[in-house]
Amino acid sequence: MGILRLSHAEVRVPDLELALAYYTEVVGLIETERGVGPDGGERAYLKAWDEHQHHSLVLVSAPTYGLETLGFKVEHAADLDELSASLADAGLEVARHEPGSLGAGSGATARFVAPSGHTVDLVHGMEQVGNSLPLHNPPPAPADLIGMHPPRIDHIFLLCEDVDGVTSFFRDVLDFRLTEQILADDGYQLATFLERSHTPHDIAFLTGPNGGFHHVAFWVDDWNDLRHAADTCAYHGVTIDAGPTRHGATRGCGLYFFDPAGNRNEVFTGGYHFDPDDEPTTWTEAEMGRAIFSYKGQVDPRFMTNHT
Amino acid sequence: MGILRLSHAEVRVPDLELALAYYTEVVGLIETERGVGPDGGERAYLKAWDEHQHHSLVLVSAPTYGLETLGFKVEHAADLDELSASLADAGLEVARHEPGSLGAGSGATARFVAPSGHTVDLVHGMEQVGNSLPLHNPPPAPADLIGMHPPRIDHIFLLCEDVDGVTSFFRDVLDFRLTEQILADDGYQLATFLERSHTPHDIAFLTGPNGGFHHVAFWVDDWNDLRHAADTCAYHGVTIDAGPTRHGATRGCGLYFFDPAGNRNEVFTGGYHFDPDDEPTTWTEAEMGRAIFSYKGQVDPRFMTNHT
Amino acid sequence: MGILRLSHAEVRVPDLELALAYYTEVVGLIETERGVGPDGGERAYLKAWDEHQHHSLVLVSAPTYGLETLGFKVEHAADLDELSASLADAGLEVARHEPGSLGAGSGATARFVAPSGHTVDLVHGMEQVGNSLPLHNPPPAPADLIGMHPPRIDHIFLLCEDVDGVTSFFRDVLDFRLTEQILADDGYQLATFLERSHTPHDIAFLTGPNGGFHHVAFWVDDWNDLRHAADTCAYHGVTIDAGPTRHGATRGCGLYFFDPAGNRNEVFTGGYHFDPDDEPTTWTEAEMGRAIFSYKGQVDPRFMTNHT
Amino acid sequence: MGILRLSHAEVRVPDLELALAYYTEVVGLIETERGVGPDGGERAYLKAWDEHQHHSLVLVSAPTYGLETLGFKVEHAADLDELSASLADAGLEVARHEPGSLGAGSGATARFVAPSGHTVDLVHGMEQVGNSLPLHNPPPAPADLIGMHPPRIDHIFLLCEDVDGVTSFFRDVLDFRLTEQILADDGYQLATFLERSHTPHDIAFLTGPNGGFHHVAFWVDDWNDLRHAADTCAYHGVTIDAGPTRHGATRGCGLYFFDPAGNRNEVFTGGYHFDPDDEPTTWTEAEMGRAIFSYKGQVDPRFMTNHT
């Protein structure tokens, strides 16, 4: 089977307490544990309310902001062996880690550095902590949710120099499916959208510096939740970067804003079901503005360059 | 009783056919009549689908864009006499017009030029044409609505040099109630919001040139309709100026966009019920950005200066 | 000017503490005061969050459930004199009460018993307590709202034997406007909808016993809020009577449920703007089911008979 | 990989033209082809607008209503061999069919009769016809959608005598995952919900006669679309069976209604993402009402017995 979906992101923040206040009270994630990472640095583990696993976001105390690692969940333990073999065949070094050895709750992990410069973990068996609803006769949601309270992580958007090459790697070696692409007039890929969960994207790449981090997105259930998220930002004085708006690519709707460290967040909803035999959609360079922001039809240069 | 609500706006457009296509197909208004105005110029009369009266928007063929007149609906025929007397007491000239004499469907009218430089009509008895639903056992809406299809006009936003003076005039002479104001640090009113319909505003003024026209707004029923309106703009290539967003002042949500002539339109929803004994809300100059765009927290200078 | 809108309802509850817990935690109203009424009985005063006046719902400790009185807000103090004179001309006894004499926060009041058997208060100058938002640079809503948290009261639905006669009384003596009616096949009015606030209804009457109380309704902002209200009922085990659904009459959408004493509540949204010169809509007896519940197209007999 | 998701349902209708008018104009599906089935009977092929494959609903001219077959989409051609082997191991007869041999657009198919008495097709390579949007720079949706216009099929709900046994079969032989179950007080399964697409259910079973068909559901994007669907039913006089409401099980929201032949349809939205290592939710018999209709908390007996 292989990769199921985006599992989690580890994000650097210089002020862990401030970031934690933001992610729990504004975004409305749930802190599951505090601890130290394998490097001895302080960490906070967070999950969205409807996730069952130990964490989908790890805040890593660090001198600056940015992405530390991202993780994909695989279905079977054996997928780690198969994908590790594929990665090795592709010439990459893969490090295997026992459950718990990469921090609190961590599962069996195959870690590698992708050609995009990002450290990627393939994970099986992360500790399950439940979604805080009872397993018998549950209500549709806990009553004490605050902030934007997205139910789960959705996708991650990264930057890299060679979008064509990185996209081929994710398709050929990790079996991702291309759903959409923005093509430059001279034919190379300006941006690509890739999925394993039959949605518009689990991961996307935009032309930029290797290792660049554009945003991590959490799912919300509808357009009304996006207004609630925007009201929540306004209420707390959180800087909104863009939205609520619709994207041309993915057809989804989103709101972008920044955590106190400067990492961009999105809450996202909508989009479509993607079958493996569906054709990808292509956007031309002239329509890139509309591909990203369907309503404005243009992209603020800051949106393309302000990344971490 | 006096003024009930904003009745209609007459808007100048150089290309009447193009404007008509836009207002019927994109905005989704309904053309009720073509004709010539009292000045002999060509006109198109439009109404929102749920309005019963002959028109709420008149397109006036003219060399340039901008606002020709705006109209308020009064409850009783006698209100025209009383308000005319009040206007005369305030030193203004009032011209009375018979039904039909100011164009198709027009009611008995008292016309004057407000201190803001805008021509204002007080109207009683505009021709009633019905809302296209049957009077017996109607469905909630006609089945053939297209575009944004707002049910009715909501408010108008104008510019004038002396907001304090104009606001006093509308309150003292026409019995408008102040709901919100943005105060400059040195105390004068940068913007004011005035109502007669127990809503956040029927008319609003922003500091600018006398006679200036910022936008006319149509009501839509909810936040979902704003997304539909934005999708409709995107589909037709109509330039979106701002939104979907929430306003700090009025708490309403809106989307701004331009007609083919350059007149700004808004679709608006939300806000509150205002009683005559409620206190107005005041925004400070430092918070003007948030008063206008709650999410961005700042106003693009173009939004303040691009008016007609 | 006369009557502005529905001001408040006084509702009987045998267990004041239980009712108060329900109205504050489930409905999400705000308790403004506890006290004793003019009859010496215990009372709790509640308001919806965005109302500025002292109360829109009064819980009256009583051996059984039902409606004690309903109140309309008038614009000017002089309206009390004029409407009292009209009522006296119509042969009704009117009792005038000083501010504060009819319980905490009460304004100057003209009280009478309508031909429908209901005690009605016309009120001017109820104590203003504000809507809990600051008057300078407010957020769109307080951050600590719970339950359904409607912003305001909307309408009241009563029963009476002679709907035709009562409707004439409200139109002729109190200047209400008829917006919709359900006509029996033999021509009499089965139900009527009347307004003063340019909405589909401030008050409505259904054929039944004089003095009967069908429901009091609070406004919510959209269809999403109705789902939230239904989820809130389900979470707290509150019995839902009907909905979320759309009404044919008023075109509004609503959810019906019961307070712990058995008084029916509604949360309502939607509907239209009604001008004084608009024509009322008529429903035939055969379409009464759809007039009330547009989706089911039929009315559960319990809905018609279970009243208080 | 195996089964991806529910692919399609073949539904019997006595009046093909009437059913077709309903499914295209009320539900808003798109007719892709008319033809004759392998049995020589007349058929109409329909798809939801955002589906890329030839059909998700086949109307089969037949003397009565009910379900003819249901189909699941598999990822790889080889999945048909593997699943056929598993089915044979489980003692079932599997018939293999070439693309096109089971009607217009049909893919390579492995057909068997499940222990529930339903004929099931596993399909690979159904003809692709696209979703009517261009593959370059598409708008978010076609402009000419009518009716409820769901983007895709969602799930199917069937009846069978031995829910425990059938559920084991779908889990063990076809690798479905159990997401929710309603347990009778004496321990057997009254209803089960099973998925392959990481959603709350692709298929569900309720205790009843073998071969019974409760409903087929199409996805809509949000709660607002459910109101639109209900308005559409009301507009066309289509009988609404239940809703708009929320389900306790799946947490989704839905609306039930009947096609002209008496087949029950649902439009459904919401629910959650289900990982293979998530725990199923269990409802007790006492809470069965709330499991199905969260708002009413009880199930109309008709809902349980009126099946086809």
* Interval D57-82: pLDDT, tens: 999 999 999 999 999 999 999 999 99
Element (H, E) at A229: helix A223-236
* pLDDT at site C307: 59
Element (H, E) at C177: strand C177-183
Interval B224-253: pLDDT, tens: 999 999 999 999 999 999 999 999 999 999
Which residues of chain A are within 8 Å of residue D197 when distances are taken between CB atoms? 198, 273
Residues of chain B scoring pLDDT < 70: 305-308
Neighbours of A85 (CB within 10 A): 12
pLDDT, mean over chain D: 96
Q: Nearest by CB to A240, from B224, B248, B295: name it.
A: B295
ipTM of the predicted assembly exceeds 0.90? yes
Residues of C marked as catalytic: 155, 201, 215, 247, 256, 266
Query: Which of C35-39, C44-48, D48-52, D172-176 is predicted least confidently?
Result: C35-39
User: Which residue type occupies B38?
Assistant: P
Q: Note which residues in 208-227 of chain D have CB less than 8 A from chain B.
A: 222, 224
Residue of C nearest to B77 (CA): C277
Confidence grade of residue A307 (pLDDT, cut at 50, 70, 90): low
d(CA A284, CA D176): 40
User: Which other chains touch chain A, taking contact as 3+ CB pairs less than 8 Å apart?
Assistant: B, C, D
Q: What is the largest CA-CA distance in chain D?
A: 57
Q: Do A227 and B246 touch (CB under 8 A)?
A: yes
Looking at the domain D152-304, which fold is it? 2,3-Dihydroxybiphenyl 1,2-Dioxygenase; domain 1 (3.10.180)
Helix, strand or coil, per DSSP, at residue B153: strand
On whether the CB atoms of residues B242 and B256 are closer than 8 A, the answer is yes
Which residues of chain B are within 8 Å of residue D143 when distances are taken between CB atoms? 235
Which residues of chain A are within 8 Å of residue D136 when distances are taken between CB atoms? 281-284
Which residues of chain B are within 8 Å of residue A294 when distances are taken between CB atoms? 230-231, 234
Residues of A marked as catalytic: 155, 201, 215, 247, 256, 266
The full DSSP string for B215-235 is EEEEE-SSHHHHHHHHHHHHH
Task: Give whole-number Cα distances, B213 to B12, B113, C167, in Å.
Answer: 11, 14, 44
d(CA A10, CA A69): 5
**For residues C241-269, average pLDDT:** 97
Helix, strand or coil, per DSSP, at residue A24: helix
Does the CA dihedral B290-A21-A40-A152 come out positive or negative?
Answer: negative
Interval B32-74: pLDDT, tens: 999 998 888 999 999 999 999 999 999 999 999 999 999 999 9
* pLDDT at site B303: 82
Element (H, E) at C12: strand C3-13
User: Which residue type occupies A304?
Assistant: M
Q: Identify whether B307 is a catalytic site residue.
A: no
User: Which residue type occupies D301?
Assistant: P
On whether the CB atoms of residues B128 and B52 are closer than 8 A, the answer is yes
d(CA C163, CA C206): 7
On whether the CB atoms of residues A135 and D281 are closer than 8 A, the answer is yes
Helix, strand or coil, per DSSP, at residue D262: coil
d(CA D212, CA D308): 6
- The angle that helices A223-236 and B223-236 make with each other, rounded to 10 degrees, is 110
Q: Identify whether D266 is a catalytic site residue.
A: yes
Whether the CB of B237 is below 8 Å from some CB of chain D: the reply is no
Q: Number of helices (H) and strands (E), helices first, in chain A?
A: 6, 17
* pLDDT at site B307: 59
Comparing CA positions, the residue from D262, D266, D265 lying closest to residue D308 is D262
The region that residue C302 occupies, defined by phi over 0 for left and psi between -120 and 50 for alpha, beta otherwise, is alpha
What does R_g of chain B's alpha carbons equal in angstroms?
Answer: 18
> Pairing mode, if any, of strands C57-61 and C42-47?
antiparallel
Selected catalytic residue, list D8, D55, D149, D201? D201
On whether the CB atoms of residues D150 and D220 are closer than 8 A, the answer is yes
Comparing CA positions, the residue from D227, D289, D287, D236 lying closest to residue D254 is D227
On whether the CB atoms of residues C158 and C220 are closer than 8 A, the answer is no
Q: Identify whether D215 is a catalytic site residue.
A: yes
Which residues of chain B are within 8 Å of residue A231 when distances are taken between CB atoms? 246, 294
Q: Do D143 and B231 touch (CB under 8 A)?
A: no
In degrees and rounded to multiples of 5, residue B118 shows phi and psi of -95, 140
* pLDDT at site A304: 77
In three state form, how does the secondary structure of C240-291 look? EEEEEEECCCCCCEEEEEECCCCCEEEEEECCCCCCCCCCCEEEEHHHHHHH
In three state form, how does the secondary structure of D37-100 look? CCCCCEEEEEECCCCCECCCEEEEECCCCEEEEEEEEECCHHHHHHHHHHHHHCCCCCEEECCC
Beta strands in B197-284 (DSSP E): 203-207, 212-219, 240-246, 253-258, 264-269, 281-284
What is the CA angle D38-D42-D46, rounded to 5? 95
Helix, strand or coil, per DSSP, at residue A176: coil
Interval D215-225: pLDDT, tens: 999 999 999 99
Interval D97-152: pLDDT, tens: 999 999 999 999 999 999 999 999 999 999 999 999 999 999 999 988 999 999 99
Q: Identify whether D155 is a catalytic site residue.
A: yes
Q: For residue A202, what are the β-bridge partners?
A: none
Q: Do C273 and B5 touch (CB under 8 A)?
A: yes
User: Does residue D205 carry a pLDDT above 90?
Assistant: yes
Residue that is written with structure tokens 């046994």 in the block: D165
d(CA D161, CA D163): 6
Q: Note which residues in 252-291 of chain C have CB less than 8 A from chain D.
A: 253, 290
> Pairing mode, if any, of strands B212-219 and B152-160?
antiparallel
The count of residues in chain C is 308
Whether the CB of D231 is below 8 Å from some CB of chain C: the reply is yes
Give the single-character DSSP code of D136. Answer: B
Residue that is written with structure tokens 């935690």 in the block: C25
Q: For residue D207, what are the β-bridge partners?
A: D160
Confidence grade of residue C304 (pLDDT, cut at 50, 70, 90): confident
> Pairing mode, if any, of strands B152-160 and B203-207?
parallel
**For residues A146-157, average pLDDT:** 98
Residue A139 distance to chain C (closest CA, Å) = 6
Whether the CB of B134 is below 8 Å from some CB of chain D: the reply is no
Interval C52-84: pLDDT, tens: 999 999 999 999 999 999 999 999 999 999 999
User: Which residue type occupies A223?
Assistant: W
d(CA A205, CA C306): 61
Q: Where in chain C is the domain with CATH 3.10.180.10?
A: 3-124, 152-304
> Please, which residues have CB within 8 angstroms of residue B94's CB and are 6 or more apart in sequence?
B84, B87, B88, B110, B111, B112
User: Does residue D305 carry a pLDDT above 90?
Assistant: no
d(CA D30, CA D10): 15
Beta strands in chain A (DSSP E): 3-13, 30-36, 42-47, 57-61, 66-74, 95-97, 108-113, 119-124, 152-160, 177-183, 189-195, 203-207, 212-219, 240-246, 253-258, 264-269, 281-284
* pLDDT at site D298: 86
d(CA C44, CA C60): 7
Interval A80-96: pLDDT, tens: 999 999 999 999 999 99
Selected catalytic residue, list B201, B214, B228, B307? B201
On whether the CB atoms of residues D75 and D66 are closer than 8 A, the answer is no
Whether the CB of B299 is below 8 Å from some CB of chain A: the reply is no
Interval A177-206: pLDDT, tens: 999 999 999 999 999 999 999 999 999 999
The region that residue D305 occupies, defined by phi over 0 for left and psi between -120 and 50 for alpha, beta otherwise, is alpha
**For residues A40-58, average pLDDT:** 97
d(CA D259, CA D32): 19
On whether the CB atoms of residues C19 and C27 are closer than 8 A, the answer is no
In degrees and rounded to multiples of 5, residue D87 shows phi and psi of -65, -40
Q: Which CATH architecture has domain C3-124?
A: Roll (3.10)
Distance separating the N- and C-terminal Cα atoms of chain B: 33
> Please, which residues have CB within 8 angstroms of residue A78's CB and are 6 or more apart in sequence?
none
Distance separating the N- and C-terminal Cα atoms of chain C: 33
Burial of A78 (0-12, 13-18, 19+ CB in 10 A): exposed
Interval C132-150: pLDDT, tens: 999 999 999 998 899 999 9
Q: Nearest by CB to C140, from A139, A141, A231: name it.
A: A231
Neighbours of B132 (CB within 10 A): 16
Residue D133 distance to chain A (closest CA, Å) = 10
Interval D248-275: pLDDT, tens: 999 999 999 999 999 999 999 999 999 9
